[in-house]
Amino acid sequence: MEIGQVIRYIRTNKKITQQELANALGMTRPYIARIESGKNSISSDKLTEILEYCNVTYNEFFYIKNDYKKSSKMNEFNKVIGLYYENKIDEISKIKESVDQKYKETGDNFLRHLYILCHCMENNLDTSKIKEEYINEIAEYLLSMEEWCYHELALLNNFIYIFPPETAFMMTKNLFNRADKYKNLNLDKNMLSYIFFNLLESSFKHEGYQYSKIVLDATKRYYTKTSDFFEQTFVIYYEGMLKIVEGSIAEGVEECNRAFTIFQTLGHEQLYKKYKADLDDLLNKVVHKNSSGENV
């Protein structure tokens, strides 16, 4: 649907007449009619006023505009990722060829990023096989954006493990700004959860513990509601891991075990096994470094 058609649909669905809408917003009825018929364009400010009066969010507006389908572009990202986990690399290669042709025709950055994602998936996310210029291209794009939108969040989430850790953590400022600005809208809660905890996992994997603390502090600020219970369990776990790194081993293990108890109680046995293995690896690393006199 076009913007005017969506406004008409929302207005009529809310049982609001053109005159009522015009009166409420200081507009004229003919002006509203011209917007709905597509004869007049509408500014973002006016659109915001109309949506607020009708008690409709921007997310809902664009969902309706897209005929109640999620963004087709984001669906393409998800499709490629799904094919990767199904080990259908040949299909990814076909998508890559098609996307490359479309990108050459349109110059759409999204298609370029999708092409690079396909390349990464073709090479099993093995950074020794992925073209370095592709990794740099995505990194430079993300670092050049002063304000991230959903597309940038999706890019970071999909490429986080192929970036060198220093590069990934250079992006945390933009990530935190995005999280703070849109915190009350809950637009990206799941995506942000993935990114926060992927960053934490990456920081421990690469022993970038100074980054671990920064990301953990930001995560704690973001997930403060009672409904954030699951995310808060991860926070407990990583707080325990940091305590172990800082030398409070018994206290840290106790914190981790608290998180494990919650995972098991909620039936997340796979999560328990994965993070228990990570804890064991860290403890072995600490024991080894302590015995050799090294700092963790």
49-84 pLDDT, tens digit per residue, is 999 999 888 878 877 876 665 566 778 888 999 999
Rounded to an integer, the average pLDDT of 167-172 is 84
d(CA 188, CA 194): 10
If DSSP codes are grouped into helix, strand and coil, which group holds residue 165? helix
**For the chain, what is the largest distance between any 2 Cα atoms, rounded to a whole number of angstroms?**
81
Residue 190 located in a structural domain: no
- Confidence band for 294, pLDDT divided at 50, 70 and 90: low
How many residues are present in the chain?
296
Count of C-beta atoms within a 10 Å radius of residue 246: 13
What is the pLDDT, as a whole number, of residue 223?
87
Residue 72 located in a structural domain: no
Mean residue pLDDT of the chain comes to 88
Residue 102 located in a structural domain: no
Q: Fill in the amino acid letter for 74.
A: M
| pLDDT-above-90 percentage for the chain | 52
- Confidence band for 160, pLDDT divided at 50, 70 and 90: confident
Residue 44 located in a structural domain: yes
d(CA 56, CA 43): 17
If DSSP codes are grouped into helix, strand and coil, which group holds residue 30? helix
Look at residue 96 and tell me whether its pLDDT is greater than 70.
yes
What is the pLDDT, as a whole number, of residue 104?
94
206-235 pLDDT, tens digit per residue, is 888 888 998 899 888 888 888 889 899 999
What is the pLDDT, as a whole number, of residue 234?
95
- Tell me which residue range forms the domain holding 36: 3-65
d(CA 95, CA 106): 16
The residue ranking higher by pLDDT, 239 or 223, is 239
Instruction: Answer whether 121's CB lies under 8 Å from 92's CB.
Output: yes
Quote the Cα angle for 240-242-243, to 5°.
65
- Confidence band for 87, pLDDT divided at 50, 70 and 90: very high
- Confidence band for 288, pLDDT divided at 50, 70 and 90: confident
What is the pLDDT, as a whole number, of residue 4?
92
Closest CA to 253 of 242, 267, 268: 242
Buried b (16+ CB within 10 A) or exposed e, 112-133: bbbbbbbbbbbbeeeeeebeee
Look at residue 41 and tell me whether its pLDDT is greater than 90.
no
99-117 pLDDT, tens digit per residue, is 999 999 999 999 999 999 9
Two tokens, residue 184: 């009350």
If DSSP codes are grouped into helix, strand and coil, which group holds residue 49? helix
Instruction: Answer whether 236's CB lies under 8 Å from 228's CB.
Output: no
DSSP one-letter code for 162? T
Rounded to an integer, the average pLDDT of 13-22 is 93
Question: The tokens 């796979």 sit on which residue?
Answer: 270
Please tell me the pTM assigned to this model.
0.68
Residue 155 located in a structural domain: no
Q: CATH number of the domain at 50, please.
A: 1.10.260.40
Look at residue 24 and tell me whether its pLDDT is greater than 70.
yes
| pLDDT-above-70 percentage for the chain | 93
- Confidence band for 186, pLDDT divided at 50, 70 and 90: low
The number of domains in the chain is: 1
Two tokens, residue 38: 């597509």
Residue 230 located in a structural domain: no
What is the pLDDT, as a whole number, of residue 18?
95
Residue 184 located in a structural domain: no
